[in-house]
Structure formats: structure tokens, C-alpha cells
Amino acid sequence: MKTLRKLFATLSLIIIISPFIFMSCAGSGSMEEKEKKVEELLSQMTLEEKVGQLMQKNADHPQLGELISRGLLGSILNEPDPERLHEWQKLAVEKSRLGIPLLIGRDVIHGFKTIFPIPLGQAASWNPDLVEKGARIAATEAASMGVNWSFAPMVDVTRDPRWGRIAESFGEDHLLNGLFGSAVVRGFQGGDLADPTTIAACVKHFAAYGWAEGGRDYNTANIPENELFDVILPPFKMCIEAGAASIMTAFNDINGIPATGHVPLMRDLLRNEWGFEGVVLSDWESLIQMVIHGYTPTDKEAAYKAMQATMDMEMASTAYENYLQELVKDGRINEKQIDDAVRRILTMKYDLGLFDNPYPYLAEFPELLDPSHLEAAKQMAIESTVLLKNNGALPLSADVQRIAVIGPLADAPHDQMGTWVFDGDKEHTVTPLQSLREMAAETGKEIFYHRALPLSRSQEITNPGAILSDVRRADVVLLFLGEESILSGEAHSLANIDLQGAQEELVQLVAGQGIPVVAVIMAGRPVTFEKIEPLMDAVLYAWHPGTMGGPAITDLIFGKVSPSGKLPVTFPRHVGQIPIYYNHKNTGKPATYDTWMHIDDIPEEAVQYSLGNTSHYLDYGFEPMYPFGYGLSYSTFELRNLALEKQQIQAGEVLEITVTLENRGDVEAAEVVQLYTRQLFGSRVRPVKELRDFQKVKLTPGQQKKITFKLNTRDLGFHNPDMEYVVESGEYHLWVGTDSRSGLKTAFEIKH
């Protein structure tokens, strides 16, 4: 606690949250008008009504209508029917004593009706502008149905593909999580929350939910304080700086303290140091789960803890409803604390413009699934697909006539949407099979389709003989493998992340016939497939690509566009390598291929091996299958002329870095140029590489471009052993490359 306090003191010096952030979401009136309205309401409210504002209930709650009419409910979630939403809102505005409108929450995670790729896939686009555009579209569609609050973005940094919710994250890097999270915040909220096409964002899960031990959802997060501050918290801060209206707490405990009652993290850091004035919402019953965690003996104590932590609104459970008034009467909670929470909720309602227009259904909204929305979803699916392997099989030439389309994900309209889809309909999905058939009909090609496995996890291949004979008469095999959507997402962690069911056997069945095999993998996480990778001539990793996955994949396969996605997460060779991530520390005994002692090289008669080797696994070595930032293209790019404006720089200054990128291939393509640094020596050991910036650049064949990065040395700091944020003097290495493993290298020095 002492260190935390010291840290907060330091942070208060370095974190300056602009007041504009909060003003930018201000609703229809001036600041004074807003305050006047909110204070007027507060002064008229009974304690019971105040507590009611702190409650969020599921739409199927039996007393919903009554509670709303009596002014005893602040928010509802999970009501999909716009007519009913309208009724609930009407009750709140017209029937309740003070006419306070409802916050209407929904998990709008990667699209509303038009489903975009899962967030992990979106991160693979390395294109925050596109992600912002997708969130803008999702907000427009959701708002047109009466939703005014989305429970996204999720910026939980994770290093564990076993964790089912990795699908919903932006991967293993905190900068990517922060950049994509803030893009979603901007997309949802636009410039003005009161605009009826915008909805409030809710950044989640505060904090360390992605650190679940063993990747098992909801598990405890044990994390050193410095990593909490250097890796987990920065994306939240970036989203707050982007103007996020609200934050959701996490289910897990952090070093033994449940996140929903975490006073140092919420009251002291989020509120007092970062100055966050928005709403903090619990996760579903996470407040009363403090009892199950073994942190508070009763729900009443849990309510007390959460209030102390400044947790404003309780999702689904009823500890606030049941005990807050009692806690005030007992003198343990000051009514002012409740007023503060209510004030934040009323302010958000005001900012959303709900007091002026509680029914933001606009006839002039673009239709759900408007063609422009579908086009954006297709573009995102294209840009998020990563080409992992290509021995020249892709793109397919126009001469290819007979195509064998095989696999459980070729025509799985529901599954390709991915996890967390409440409002998307599979009827609107275009699968690869549909899209390929359409293309074949136009061009006279033939498609031979076999689902082969009813589900990705099915153990038996249907009709292998027929599959084989169709493979033999095809020019190419397109294998659609992966996971159904149900295998990732909340509470859907896996201990085995290999391709499930008989998919490996399926690959073995179709390979070796002299026909090129192109695999398209659709999954909610990195899956491991090292054993069968040599049997594949090309691999496209499409994640769960959403509504327009089919047309996007068809365009990629036939080379209408080049793949440009890059991995936002390291792909292990084997599940036992986890955690494996690019920004690890060096150790005192880093491995090389020379020192890797492979299990097969251990002589059979050996009983004792010599000591003093390096940090690796006997069986799986030390390298991943594919590194962070990796992804191939149909073109080839050259980077050259890496230059620094200067070799020595004062801490706090901005270092300008230039490099030239040239497209040396035959096709137009985009490349993601990535900037990494390493501090060689520090008061704490620093990671071997850290992503600092990137640019996605599209070039025509032969075209070159000078790229400039401006590296702010203020961002190169970390929390030292005294938990002070410091940018230390000394030598730094710098790489500019097209993945985290390679690149041009130079060095610079920071002086104080």
C-alpha cells in the first residue's frame, strides 16, 4: 500500500487528464446547464430513488415495469426488442416521478447487425482508422434500435490463447490494446455523445481479467505491481483519454483483492489520480461474487466495499438495492458517496442527450446492413486476415477451374460470426462457400463441396472416399478449418488449442495427392497446427471474420487484393509453451539454435546431462510458430535507409526516425512497418523488444515511400523498483521491421 501511495503521487505528476476529455462528451447544453439539471434532480430524489439509479437489471426481470414506473431503476440490459425498449423508456420518462430516462446497455462487441471480425481479428488489421469506422457503424445500428450504451471495448491484455476471451481482446500488446480500444471509443461516441447516432463506450474489464492463471476464465490474476502498471493499465488510460464514458470492473481478484471492491485501483488510482469522472459498472454479479471469492462474508459487506471503491452501478445482482440504505442508516456509508455515484450516472444520461431525446430511433438512419456497412465489414475482414504461409500456391490463378471446397468452416454462417454476437443473424452472413459458388457461376468454374465434419470438433470424417475422389479431380483444395464460435468467448477456455476433432486427419486425407492444399483457418484464438502445417501449401488465418468473411476470403484467394494482416499475438508451436510473447525478458541464459538441446539428440544411454544449458524446452525449443507482428503478402517489400535524426537525445524529447519502404513485387499491397525499441540496461530488466509505433502503408509495384516516426522518449519509461515511472538514461536499440523478429537495427542514447 505504501508503494501504491508513492506510485499514485508519481502518477499524479505525470498523468494530466485534460478537462476537454470530459467536456467533449457533454450533451446538449452547457456545463452549467448540465450541472443545474443534475443537481436539481439529485435534490429531489429520495434515498430509495438514488439507490434505484445505481441498479442495472436484465430485461427479463419480473418486476421491471414496476421498478421503472416507480423511478427505482437506472438501467436495463439485454432487451433485444426495440418496441419493448421504447415501452420501458416511455415508462421511465412518462410514468416515474422524476422522469429520469434509462441507460440501455447491450454487448455490441464487434458489430450490431453487420458483424465485423472478432476484436482479435480487428487488431490483426493494424488499422485503427478502420476499427474506428467499424465501431461508428455498430453504434449507428445499435442506436437505431434504442441501445445507448455498449459494453465494449475490452482492452484486457492477454498472453494466453487458452483463454476463451482472447477473441474479444486486441491481443498481447498493451499499445495495440490502447490504440484499438481508443479507436472503438471514438467510433462509438463520435464527437458528441448527444448525437443520436452515438452510444456510450464501456471499457472493460478493470483490471487484469486477461491475466487469468492458466488461461482459465475468471481465474485469479497474480501480477507484479510494476507489470500491472506498465502492461495492464495503460490501455485503460488511453481509452479514458479518448473520452470513454464508462468502465466495467473485472470478475477476477488481483493479487487477492476482487477487482469490483478494489479501493486502491478504483478510488485511489482511477478516480483520484487519473481523474476519471465517468460511470463505473460492475460486471454481471461480480459485486456479490466478492462473497464467493472469500473476500467479504456477506452481500452487505460486498456492497460496502464496492461503494468504498466508488463502483457506481451494479449489474444484475441486488446488493446495492438490498443494503445501501441500511448502510447509510448504520452510518457506515455517507449519503454523499451515493450522491456522487448517482451524479455520475445522471451526468452520463445528460451527456447522451437522453433528457432531451430519450428515444433515439431515427427514420433517417442508414438501414441495418446498409451496403456501405457491409463494404466496411468486408474491408475489415480482408485487412484482418493474415497470410501465415505461402509456397506460391496463392493467389490462385484465374485458370484454376475445379475447386474442392472442404471443411466444417466453409459454410458455417453462424460460426464465422464468432463469439459475442447477440444481434447478428446468420441469414445475413455470406460464407466462403456461397461466395465461391457465386464467383464460380460467373466464371464457369466448378466447385466440389464436402463439409467433411459436421462440426470442427467432430471425430469422424463423413464420406472420406467421396472427398478423396473429388480432391483428385480438382485443381486446388481449399480447406476451411478452425473452431466453431462456441469454442471461444466467455467461460470457453481450452486446455488443448490444437485444431479440434478429426481436422488433422482431414488434412492428412487430402494432402499428398499432388494437388495444392490451401488452408483457411477461422478461429477465435491462435490454434496450434504445427504437425500438419507441412502438408499445407498456403495458410490464411481469417479468425472469425464476420458477416462478410466469405467475399473477403474469395477476394484474397484469387488475388483481387493482397493480404496485409499481421499477428497481434504470438502463435505457439505447442500449448505447453504458453505464456510465450514477444516482449519477454532476456533471462540470464537466453537460448539459441546452437544451445538448444533437442530431446531427440539426447543419447539413449544418457542418465545425467551436463548442466549449464540455456532457457528452452527440450521438445519445443524456445521459438514460437509465428511471431507477433508477422504476416506475409503477395508482394515483397524492402526496407532501407533507416536513419535517426540524432544518436543522443534528452529524456522528454522527440526522436525522429526515417526509413524507406519499397514495394518490389508485382502487385499493389499494404505493409505494416513496425517500430520496436529495447532499453539495454535498466534499474529493472527490460523486455527484449517493445512495440512503439507502426504505420500501414499501401504501395503500387515499384513505388517507394519515406516513412517518418516520431518517438516520444517520454513513452519509453516504466515503473522502477520504487514504483516510480521513469525514463532512464542509457543505451537503447531500435528496430524498424515488418514483424517483431526481424528488421533494420540501430541504436541511440538517452541522456538526462
What angle separates helix 432-443 from helix 549-557, to the nearest 10 degrees? 50
- Cβ of residue 309: shortest distance to ligand NOJ, in angstroms? 18
- Of 283 and 383, the one with the shorter C-beta distance to ligand NOJ is 283
- Of 253 and 283, the one with the shorter C-beta distance to ligand NOJ is 283
- Of 251 and 582, the one with the shorter C-beta distance to ligand NOJ is 251
The answer to whether residues 391 and 538 touch, using CB atoms and an 8 Å cutoff, is yes
Torsion sign over Cα 641, 642, 648, 653 = positive
Q: In sequence order, what are the residues at sequence separation of 6 or more whose Cβ sits closer than 8 angstroms to the Cβ of residue 139?
A: 108, 150, 187, 188, 189, 190, 197, 198, 199
Closest by alpha carbon to 92, among 73, 79, 120? 73
- Of 151 and 571, the one with the shorter C-beta distance to ligand NOJ is 151
**Binders of ligand NOJ: how many residues, by CB under 6 A?**
6
Joined grid coordinates for residue 524: 477465435
Binding residue for ligand NOJ (CB under 6 A) from 151, 188, 236, 295?
Answer: 151
Count other C-beta atoms under 10 Å from residue 218's C-beta.
17
Question: Kind of pairing, strands 517-522 and 246-249?
Answer: unpaired
Residues 486-515 within binding reach of ligand NOJ (CB under 6 A): 490
Q: In sequence order, what are the residues at sequence separation of 6 or more whose Cβ sits closer than 8 angstroms to the Cβ of residue 606?
A: none
Produce one character per residue of 662-685: b if its CB has 16 or more CB atoms within 10 Å, e if not: bbebeeebbbbbbbbbbbeeeeee
The answer to whether residues 547 and 417 touch, using CB atoms and an 8 Å cutoff, is yes
- Cβ of residue 105: shortest distance to ligand NOJ, in angstroms? 7
- Cβ of residue 262: shortest distance to ligand NOJ, in angstroms? 16
Quick check: helix, strand or coil at residue 272? helix
Whether 283 is catalytic: yes
- Of 151 and 709, the one with the shorter C-beta distance to ligand NOJ is 151
284 binds ligand NOJ (CB under 6 A): yes
- Cβ of residue 119: shortest distance to ligand NOJ, in angstroms? 12
- Of 283 and 724, the one with the shorter C-beta distance to ligand NOJ is 283
- Cβ of residue 547: shortest distance to ligand NOJ, in angstroms? 21
Outline where DSSP puts E strands in 532-614.
538-541
- Cβ of residue 234: shortest distance to ligand NOJ, in angstroms? 20
Of 195, 268, 283, 537, which one is the catalytic site residue? Answer: 283
The answer to whether residues 521 and 488 touch, using CB atoms and an 8 Å cutoff, is no
Quick check: helix, strand or coil at residue 648? strand
Residue holding cell 533437442? 598
- Of 261 and 516, the one with the shorter C-beta distance to ligand NOJ is 261
The answer to whether residues 617 and 637 touch, using CB atoms and an 8 Å cutoff, is no
Residue holding cell 454479479? 285
Binding residue for ligand NOJ (CB under 6 A) from 230, 283, 671, 724?
Answer: 283
**x/- contact string, 453-492, with ligand NOJ (CB under 6 A)?**
-------------------------------------x--
- Cβ of residue 453: shortest distance to ligand NOJ, in angstroms? 30
- Of 112 and 151, the one with the shorter C-beta distance to ligand NOJ is 151
Give the span between the Cα atoms of 471 and 511, in whole angstroms. Answer: 9
628 binds ligand NOJ (CB under 6 A): no
**x/- contact string, 178-207, with ligand NOJ (CB under 6 A)?**
--------------------------x---
- Cβ of residue 422: shortest distance to ligand NOJ, in angstroms? 8
Give the span between the Cα atoms of 240 and 230, in whole angstroms. Answer: 16
170 binds ligand NOJ (CB under 6 A): no
Question: Kind of pairing, strands 476-482 and 279-281?
Answer: unpaired
- Cβ of residue 316: shortest distance to ligand NOJ, in angstroms? 8
Joined grid coordinates for residue 635: 508482394
Which burial class, exposed, middle or buried, applies to 62 when counting CB atoms under 10 A from its CB (0-12, 13-18, 19+)?
Answer: exposed
Count other C-beta atoms under 10 Å from residue 724's C-beta.
18
Give the span between the Cα atoms of 122 and 591, in whole angstroms. Answer: 33
- Of 154 and 580, the one with the shorter C-beta distance to ligand NOJ is 154
Residues 308-347 within binding reach of ligand NOJ (CB under 6 A): none
The answer to whether residues 169 and 220 touch, using CB atoms and an 8 Å cutoff, is no
**x/- contact string, 93-132, with ligand NOJ (CB under 6 A)?**
--------------x-------------------------
Which spans in 64-125 are helix H? 64-69, 82-90, 119-124
- Of 120 and 561, the one with the shorter C-beta distance to ligand NOJ is 120
- Cβ of residue 247: shortest distance to ligand NOJ, in angstroms? 12
The answer to whether residues 656 and 708 touch, using CB atoms and an 8 Å cutoff, is yes
Give the span between the Cα atoms of 698 and 665, in whole angstroms. Answer: 12
Tell me which residue has its CB nearest to ligand NOJ: 151
Instruction: Render 399-429 in DSSP notation, one character per residue.
Output: T--EEEEESTTTT-TTGGG-SS-SS--GGG-
**x/- contact string, 204-233, with ligand NOJ (CB under 6 A)?**
x-----------------------------
> Which residues are part of the catalytic machinery?
283
Question: What is the binding site for ligand NOJ (CB under 6 A)?
Answer: 107, 151, 204, 283-284, 490
